[in-house]
């Protein structure tokens, strides 16, 4: 009976391995804050700091909602940044050349994004091509198409419908100055939390990632699950494309969403989603985004040039992976492994 | 026994793959509230038959009737809906989910609920677990559980889908005697609930105990359907292989010589502690006990896959450190692992490549392979073990189970070791091939090799071993020499408390 | 003795020894895939302007030797069941190190090159340590190191182009070794061909090659068979770092400068080359001759696009589509074939069983 209680406790919040990584990185950051407090205080004081994080986060978080599902099924999608760029340009194109109203832009972002994601899913699930190869290819296809749409020309703020600026300037509750963008991202987060835990499809995603073979034997249509996951990720990326235009005020074929996949993947991995699939939580991913968003904004404030960005993300990914692996090894030490293959 | 209508029956069921007919005209009848054993050699068609019933394969010909109604089973989901559940030989579980989530994975939709009500699911899980008197926490993570418990989770899963027909595919091959007893208790309870149980096993003793009816398949044909009480084991074997076979496991005497391998106080935290084993030339030494007690782990440790943290290994009297399998092979060890499909063989590769893999350094000069030498070596061993195949470039995946095991054995014979570590060498192979394996073991020790055999089949241990070590929860609880070896003694030693250790005179 | 089995028709297993040129050439591939590629190559050759001008073709090829080199090494890694996405980062960082050592530290160029290559080796060793000893999946490790290495280059040289290297170092691709007809063949292409031949022999004829195929097929079983998986993986990644470093230096020699965005996105091209060549991304299958094939296809597609003056970003679109189609079409064809065959087989087998039943 005592074992029961201990096992249950291990499953509880703090001790979940997903969160350990985050705590460790926060600890490291805390150390560096103590080491050089002046820069940190100065950085935090400036209003732009919070603005930067607050406005940048919704973009990352939205895409991360999809990426969480993708990685949980055991795959990776490196094309998200390009889908963001492509849908952004497409929506901008509609705004500029067709004088499309805002709601059309929203609809287009959702539909085009979903179709791009479904394209990925089609090749991965039904044409049976490896997810890495497919998303590497589509990463370039969508980015290339983004350039094709306007032959490389950016779409500036003057063509945006006014609601786009509302997204970042106005919020539903006038007194509290939290813009729509945040609320929308929050909305997605809440929906995804419930979706992953309480919806049938969400459970199937975990099953497919945990043991694809067993999932098949249980009657889960693995192909369909993966297809839908990629389609949904495309949808989220499309919405983020629209948000990009709101946040920055323009759509650019080269810049919109460029390099986003790195941040999103890093956030997801830090957030405790296991690369081998089957494990992870939305909350963890959100925490990961928060962390990375903070780091991203801290870097210029603390005096490093933005050149350090990619380096630090890469470093964080690797540190997070090492910690994650270390946890896995500790866990499996006490477990009597079948077939004598320990810690596999 | 009441004579009732079968709840599920097949008529004229046949299945063919390109070029081969694996099931021919099979009429299989499953009755409710009864355990029906399905036996036959490997390749007889048992797994094909149950795969068809589970919806994983579609029949080429024939009909299936459920309670009199003709049905089609296009996929496992439909099979579940119809009340057919298959418990696999290796428990198919989701390692990162807890027990409840495992039970309901894939069929959370059954209630027609829009969302998953976890509180209710946990309650149901608890109820189902209690209905079988299982002391498993429904919120416990599944990863650390023993295989027996994982199997239980799968059985509960089938109950949660209101399965009327539960098919168990060799459930006992991964269990120890006490766990088998427990499983039989569960099966009895399921019987009382009116479920129909199909039980596939190679172990005829178990079949005699648990089943009331048997169907024997041979070469895809149904040979007969009989009541168990009217059928002796010998008759079963005869019908299974079409000829009489002397099924007694005989041990041939071999001269015992110097100590080939000795390990002292091997310890690996969390897996085994203070393991001391001795193997002399010409001896067959056994390790038995509960699955998960650490035998395989000890073997893997000696072989260098997961080296121990402390303790000493002596080979022919000299102390050695074995850090990886390469070193182990160089020092004269060989290990035939438990699972030939996943760790014993590389399925897509050819027979030839598989066989020569550990011996690559022997057939190559400065890494350049001598193909002629490779070919002649491979042919020699195929001949020696009478392996049946069409050509050595054939992919190993296409070869039958018994022959696959022979390929694994010849692969290790080729390395010409002094000490063989065999982990459940006769698991999942038919009676005929088993006899050949026992023969081989006897031949090896007569030639002066040492054999360390891990097995949970007590008859093997008792008949073959010169000495047996019994392990429980990571330590050796008893060492029995040949003259004291008996099944009762082993069972007693297996369930012994950690504190007491029974030593032979 | 070998009895003929009445079982399933024997598929040619992977890696049969004899007739290696023909059979293994097509091992794991559909023959119609190769025919498709051959047709594509021919079309490209014909439609590429100046195709008659052999020296033009040689020039186009020699511009891509670096990618070809890395792709050959990548073939080995992919056959081994792993992947190294960080190669472009290693190329850049290695070249950066060499450049900086020469310029800022005043080390003579030859020494800088040696140190740079050692640096590449070490970068590969880092990958190797993380993948082989810490058992972190290669995909995510090398994504991380890709950005890490490129980022470090960016930190070191910012947006500048580092150049002004000694004459003997520059334009190594203009050193001609052989003359065929009236066409000069640079030493770099010869070097690449030598590398290809070496790799081919290693994979097919040596025990190391067998081991690489083994770990790509089933790593656990390979380990149980006495293969030192950790060591081999570590070795392969280290080698990959070294080769990428060398490729980076070649690039620097050809373009005269090193920049932080050297070979940006190169990993896509390289993986395209390997995959087009028939090597399965899942491991255990493939060969380097196919990679050579894929390399040529990518070269001609790219050069055709450049000539057609399609901007670089839009070229990406074409490359991506090429990769997808090259894999999708054979897959779809074989899926359809499977389904069709299955239906036919089931039909004929039904008839067979029916007739047999009638006999009873």
Task: Name the closest residue on chain C to residue A316, using Cα atoms.
Answer: C144
Confidence of residue C89 (pLDDT cuts 50, 70, 90): very high
Q: What range defines the domain where residue B396 resides? A: 338-416
pLDDT value, residue A1: 39
pLDDT value, residue A112: 96
In chain A, what are the domain boundaries? 38-324
Same domain for B122 and B61: yes
User: Among A64-68, A107-111, B326-330, C102-106, whose mean pLDDT is lowest?
Assistant: C102-106
Helix (H) or strand (E) holding C176: strand C176-180
Query: Would the CB atoms of C135 and A325 count as touching at under 8 Å?
Result: yes
Instruction: Round to whole Å and give the CA distance between A289 and A265.
Output: 10
pLDDT value, residue A338: 36
Confidence of residue B243 (pLDDT cuts 50, 70, 90): low
Which value, in Å, is the radius of gyration of the alpha carbons in chain A?
A: 21
Question: In the listed set B196, B213, B241, which residue is the last one of a domain according to the structure?
Answer: B241
CATH of the domain at B161: 3.40.50.300
Tens digits of per-residue pLDDT, A179-213? Answer: 888 889 999 999 999 999 899 999 999 999 999 98
Helix (H) or strand (E) holding B422: strand B419-423
3-class secondary-structure state, position A322? helix
Same domain for B214 and B75: yes
pLDDT value, residue C49: 61
pLDDT value, residue C183: 76
**C54 vs C2, residue with greater confidence:** C54
Same domain for B229 and B142: yes
Task: Name the closest residue on chain C to residue B395, using Cα atoms.
Answer: C13
pLDDT at A39 over 80: no
Locate all alpha helices (DSSP H) within B161-232, ordered by sequence. 177-192, 204-210
pLDDT at B205 over 50: yes
Tens digits of per-residue pLDDT, B396-407? Answer: 887 877 788 899
Confidence of residue A303 (pLDDT cuts 50, 70, 90): low
CB B268 within 8 Å of CB B309? yes
Which of A77, A131, A140, A316 is most worth mutating to test chain C (most C CB atoms within 10 A of its CB)? Answer: A140
3-class secondary-structure state, position C66? helix
Find, among B236, B225, B313, the residue nearest to B268 by Cα.
Answer: B313
CB B93 within 8 Å of CB A214? yes
User: Among B151-155, B351-355, B362-366, C40-44, whose mean pLDDT is lowest?
Assistant: C40-44
Confidence of residue C105 (pLDDT cuts 50, 70, 90): confident
pLDDT value, residue B442: 92
Instruction: Round to whole Å and give the CA distance between C210 and C202.
Output: 9
What average pLDDT does the segment B355-381 reach? 90
State what percent of residues in chain C have pLDDT above 70: 85
Tens digits of per-residue pLDDT, C286-304? Answer: 889 889 888 988 888 887 7
Burial class (CB in 10 A: 0-12, 13-18, 19+), C4: exposed
Instruction: Round to whole Å and give the CA distance between C216 and B434.
Output: 32
pLDDT value, residue C72: 96
Instruction: Round to whole Å and give the CA distance between C209 and C17.
Output: 13
Is the CA virtual torsion B302, B306, B312, B317 positive or negative? Answer: positive
Indicate the Cα dihedral angle B412, B415, B420, B423, nearest 10°.
-30
Tens digits of per-residue pLDDT, B2-43? Answer: 557 888 888 888 887 765 678 888 899 999 989 999 988 766
CA B156, B160, B163: angle at the middle one, nearest 5? 95
What average pLDDT does the segment A42-54 reach? 67
pLDDT at B70 over 60: yes
**How far off is chain A from B10, nearest CA to CA, in Å?**
22
Q: What is the mean pLDDT of chain B?
A: 85
Question: In the listed set B241, B276, B311, which residue is the last one of a domain according to the structure?
Answer: B241
Find, among A148, A82, A90, the residue nearest to A117 by Cα.
Answer: A82
Does A199 touch chain B if contact means CB atoms closer than 8 Å? yes
pLDDT at A2 over 50: no
Instruction: Round to whole Å and give the CA distance between A338 and B338.
Output: 10
Tens digits of per-residue pLDDT, B429-479? Answer: 777 788 889 989 999 999 999 999 998 777 788 889 999 999 877 888 889
Tens digits of per-residue pLDDT, B407-419? Answer: 999 999 999 999 9
**C70 vs C161, residue with greater confidence:** C70
CA distances from B232 to B29, B188, B205, B237, B340 (A): 21, 22, 10, 9, 31
Tens digits of per-residue pLDDT, C30-60? Answer: 454 566 667 767 776 666 665 566 777 788 8
Cβ-nearest to A147 among C143, C265, C314:
C314
Confidence of residue A21 (pLDDT cuts 50, 70, 90): low
pLDDT at C8 over 60: no
The length of chain A, given as a count of residues = 344
Q: Which residues in chain B are contacts of C357 at CB distance < 8 A?
A: 12, 25
Same domain for B78 and B176: yes
pLDDT value, residue C290: 85
Q: What is the mean pLDDT of chain A?
A: 82
Instruction: Round to whole Å and give the CA distance between C325 and C352.
Output: 39
Same domain for B428 and B401: no
**C35 vs A27, residue with greater confidence:** A27
3-class secondary-structure state, position A292? helix
Q: Which residues in chain B are contacts of A194 at CB distance < 8 A?
A: 115
Interface confidence, given as ipTM, is 0.80
Burial class (CB in 10 A: 0-12, 13-18, 19+), A276: middle
pLDDT value, residue C6: 28
Same domain for B373 and B308: no
Locate all alpha helices (DSSP H) within B193-292, ordered by sequence. 204-210, 233-241
Confidence of residue A121 (pLDDT cuts 50, 70, 90): very high
pLDDT value, residue C18: 42
CA distances from B219 to B13, B242, C293 (A): 14, 10, 47
Instruction: Round to whole Å and give the CA distance between C310 and C223.
Output: 49
Same domain for B412 and B363: yes
pTM of the predicted protein model: 0.83
Tens digits of per-residue pLDDT, C187-223? Answer: 899 999 999 999 999 999 999 999 999 999 999 999 9
Task: Examine residue B47 and state whether it is found in any structural domain, yes or no.
Answer: yes
pLDDT value, residue B449: 92
Helix (H) or strand (E) holding B441: helix B431-446
Query: Would the CB atoms of A210 and B96 count as touching at under 8 Å?
Result: yes
Which of A206, A213, A218 is most worth mutating to test chain B (most B CB atoms within 10 A of its CB)? Answer: A218
What average pLDDT does the segment B54-60 reach? 86
What average pLDDT does the segment A270-278 reach? 82
pLDDT at C225 over 80: yes
Same domain for B237 and B259: no
Cβ-nearest to C281 among A133, A305, A312:
A133
Task: Examine residue B2 and state whether it is found in any structural domain, yes or no.
Answer: no
The length of chain B, given as a count of residues = 505
Find, among A3, A99, A129, A56, the residue nearest to A291 by Cα.
Answer: A56
pLDDT value, residue C99: 92
Number of domains in chain B: 3
Same domain for B130 and B85: yes
Q: Which residues contact C120 (CB under 8 A, 6 or more apart)?
A: C90, C93, C94, C241, C242, C243, C244, C245, C246, C248
pLDDT value, residue B163: 87
CA distances from B226 to B38, B222, C130 (A): 11, 11, 59
3-class secondary-structure state, position C189? helix
Instruction: Round to whole Å and give the CA distance between B135 and B132.
Output: 9
Question: In the listed set B241, B275, B305, which residue is the last one of a domain according to the structure?
Answer: B241
Q: Residue B151 corresponds to which tokens in the numbers above? A: 């199997």
Tens digits of per-residue pLDDT, A88-112? Answer: 999 999 998 888 888 999 999 999 9
Instruction: Round to whole Å and give the CA distance between B266 and B323.
Output: 14
Q: For the domain A38-324, what is the CATH code?
A: 1.10.3470
Cβ-nearest to C320 among A130, A137, A152:
A137
Residue B226's DSSP bridge partners are B214
What average pLDDT does the segment A73-81 reach? 94
Which of C221, C337, C339, C346 is most worth mutating to test chain B (most B CB atoms within 10 A of its CB)? Answer: C221
Between helices A17-35 and A282-301, what is the axis angle to 10°?
A: 20
Task: Examine residue B1 and state whether it is found in any structural domain, yes or no.
Answer: no
Cβ-nearest to B61 among C7, C15, C353:
C353
pLDDT value, residue B496: 57
**How far off is chain C from A222, nearest CA to CA, in Å?**
17
Q: Which residues contact A32 (CB under 8 A, 6 or more apart)?
A: none
């Amino acid at each position: 009976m005592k074992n029961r209680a201990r096992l249950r406790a291990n499953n509880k919040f703090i001790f979940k391995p997903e969160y350990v990584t985050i705590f460790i990185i926060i600890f490291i950051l805390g150390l560096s804050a103590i080491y050089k407090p002046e820069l940190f205080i100065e950085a935090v004081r400036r209003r732009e700091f919070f603005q930067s994080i607050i406005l940048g986060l919704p973009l990352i978080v939205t895409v991360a909602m999809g990426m969480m599902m993708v990685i949980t099924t055991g795959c990776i999608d490196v094309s998200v940044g390009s889908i963001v760029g492509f849908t952004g340009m497409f929506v901008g194109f509609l705004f500029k050349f067709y004088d499309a109203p805002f709601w059309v832009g929203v609809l287009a972002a959702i539909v085009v994004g979903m179709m791009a994601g479904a394209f990925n899913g089609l090749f991965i699930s039904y044409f049976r091509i490896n997810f890495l190869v497919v998303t590497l290819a589509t990463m370039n296809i969508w980015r290339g198409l983004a350039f094709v749409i306007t032959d490389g020309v950016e779409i500036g703020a003057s063509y945006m419908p006014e609601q786009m600026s509302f997204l970042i300037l106005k919020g539903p509750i006038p007194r509290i100055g939290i813009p729509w963008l945040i609320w929308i991202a929050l909305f997605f987060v809440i929906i995804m939390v419930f979706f992953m835990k309480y919806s049938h499809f969400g459970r199937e995603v975990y099953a497919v990632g945990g043991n694809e073979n067993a999932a098949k034997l249980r009657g889960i249509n693995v192909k369909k699950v993966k297809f839908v996951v990629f389609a949904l990720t495309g949808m989220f990326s499309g919405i983020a494309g629209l948000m990009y235009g709101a946040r920055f005020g323009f759509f650019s074929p080269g810049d919109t969403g460029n390099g986003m996949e790195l941040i999103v993947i890093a956030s997801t991995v830090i957030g405790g989603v296991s690369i081998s699939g089957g494990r992870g939580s939305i909350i963890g991913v959100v925490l990961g985004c928060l962390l990375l968003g903070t780091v991203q904004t801290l870097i210029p404030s603390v005096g490093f040039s933005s050149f350090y960005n990619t380096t630090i993300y890469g470093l964080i990914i690797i540190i997070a992976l090492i910690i994650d692996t270390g946890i896995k090894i500790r866990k499996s030490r006490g477990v009597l492994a079948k077939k004598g293959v320990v810690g596999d | 026994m009441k004579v009732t209508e079968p709840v599920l029956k097949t008529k004229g069921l046949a299945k063919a793959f390109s070029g081969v007919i694996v099931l021919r005209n099979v009429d299989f009848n499953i009755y409710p509230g009864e355990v029906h054993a399905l036996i036959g050699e490997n390749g007889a068609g048992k797994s094909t038959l149950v795969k068809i019933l589970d919806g994983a394969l579609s029949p080429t010909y024939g009909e299936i009737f459920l309670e009199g109604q003709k049905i089609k089973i296009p996929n496992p989901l439909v099979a579940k809906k119809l009340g057919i559940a298959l418990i696999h030989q290796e428990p198919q579980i989701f390692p990162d989910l807890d027990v409840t989530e495992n039970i309901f994975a894939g069929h959370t939709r059954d209630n027609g609920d829009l969302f998953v009500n976890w509180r209710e699911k946990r309650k149901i899980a608890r109820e189902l677990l209690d209905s079988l008197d299982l002391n498993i926490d429904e919120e416990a993570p599944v990863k650390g559980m023993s295989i027996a418990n994982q199997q239980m989770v799968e059985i509960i899963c089938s109950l949660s889908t209101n399965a009327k027909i539960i098919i168990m595919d060799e459930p006992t091959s991964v269990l120890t005697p006490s766990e088998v007893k427990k499983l039989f208790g569960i099966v009895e309870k399921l019987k009382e609930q009116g479920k129909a149980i199909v039980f596939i096993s190679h172990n005829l003793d178990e079949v005699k105990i648990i089943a009331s009816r048997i169907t024997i398949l041979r070469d895809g044909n149904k040979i007969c359907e009989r009541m168990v009480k009217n059928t002796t084991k010998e008759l079963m074997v005869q019908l299974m292989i079409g000829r009489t076979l002397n099924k007694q496991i005989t041990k041939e005497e071999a001269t015992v010589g110097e100590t080939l391998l000795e390990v002292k106080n091997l310890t690996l935290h969390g897996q085994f502690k203070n393991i001391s084993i001795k193997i002399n030339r010409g001896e067959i030494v056994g390790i038995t006990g509960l699955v998960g007690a650490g035998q395989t782990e000890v073997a893997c440790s000696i072989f260098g896959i997961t080296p121990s943290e402390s303790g000493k290994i002596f080979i022919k009297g000299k102390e050695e450190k074995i850090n990886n399998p390469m070193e182990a092979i160089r020092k004269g060890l060989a290990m035939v692992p438990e699972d030939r499909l996943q760790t014993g063989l590389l399925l897509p590769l050819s027979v030839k490549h598989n066989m020569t893999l550990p011996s690559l350094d022997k057939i190559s000069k400065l890494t350049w392979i001598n193909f002629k030498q490779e070919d002649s070596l491979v042919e020699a061993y195929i001949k020696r073990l009478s392996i049946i195949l069409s050509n050595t470039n054939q992919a190993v995946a296409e070869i039958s189970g018994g022959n696959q095991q022979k390929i694994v054995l010849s692969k290790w014979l080729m390395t010409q070791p002094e000490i063989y570590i065999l982990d459940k060498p006769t698991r999942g192979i038919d009676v005929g091939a088993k006899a050949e394996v026992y023969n081989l073991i006897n031949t090896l020790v007569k030639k002066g090799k040492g054999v360390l055999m891990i097995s949970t089949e007590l008859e093997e241990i008792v008949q073959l071993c010169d000495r047996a070590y019994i392990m429980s929860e990571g330590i050796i609880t008893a060492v029995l020499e040949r003259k004291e070896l008996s099944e009762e003694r082993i069972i007693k030693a297996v369930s012994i408390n950690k504190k007491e250790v029974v030593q032979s005179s | 003795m070998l009895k003929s089995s009445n079982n399933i028709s024997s598929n040619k297993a992977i890696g049969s020894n004899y007739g290696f040129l023909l059979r293994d050439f097509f091992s794991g591939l559909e023959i119609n895939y190769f025919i498709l590629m051959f047709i594509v190559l021919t079309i490209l050759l014909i439609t590429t302007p100046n195709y008659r001008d052999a020296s033009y073709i040689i020039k186009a090829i020699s511009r891509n030797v670096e990618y070809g080199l890395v792709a050959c090494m990548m073939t080995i890694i992919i056959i081994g069941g792993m992947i190294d996405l960080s190669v472009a980062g290693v190329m850049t960082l290695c070249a950066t190190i060499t450049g900086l050592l020469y310029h800022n530290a005043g080390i003579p160029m030859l020494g800088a090159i040696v140190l740079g290559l050692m640096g590449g080796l070490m970068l590969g060793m880092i990958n190797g340590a993380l993948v082989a000893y810490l058992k972190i999946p290669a995909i995510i490790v090398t994504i991380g190191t890709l950005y890490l290495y490129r980022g470090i280059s960016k930190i070191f040289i910012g947006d500048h182009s580092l150049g002004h290297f000694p004459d003997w170092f520059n334009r190594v691709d203009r050193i001609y070794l052989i003359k065929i007809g009236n066409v000069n063949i640079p030493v770099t292409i010869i070097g690449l061909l030598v590398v290809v031949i070496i790799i081919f022999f290693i994979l097919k004829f040596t025990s190391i090659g067998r081991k690489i195929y083994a770990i790509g097929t089933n790593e656990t079983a390979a380990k149980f068979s006495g293969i030192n998986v950790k060591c081999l993986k570590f070795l392969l990644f280290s080698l990959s770092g070294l080769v990428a470093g060398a490729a980076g230096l070649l690039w620097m020699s050809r373009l005269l400068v090193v920049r932080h965005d050297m070979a940006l996105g190169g990993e896509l091209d390289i993986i395209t080359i390997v995959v087009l060549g028939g090597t399965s991304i899942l491991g255990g299958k493939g060969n380097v001759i196919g990679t050579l094939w894929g390399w040529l296809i990518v070269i001609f597609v790219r050069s055709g696009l450049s000539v057609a003056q399609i901007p670089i970003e839009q070229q990406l679109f074409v490359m991506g589509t090429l990769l997808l189609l090259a894999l999708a079409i054979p897959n779809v064809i074989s899926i359809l074939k499977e389904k069709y065959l299955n239906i036919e087989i089931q039909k004929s087998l039904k008839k067979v069983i029916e007739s047999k039943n009638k006999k009873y």
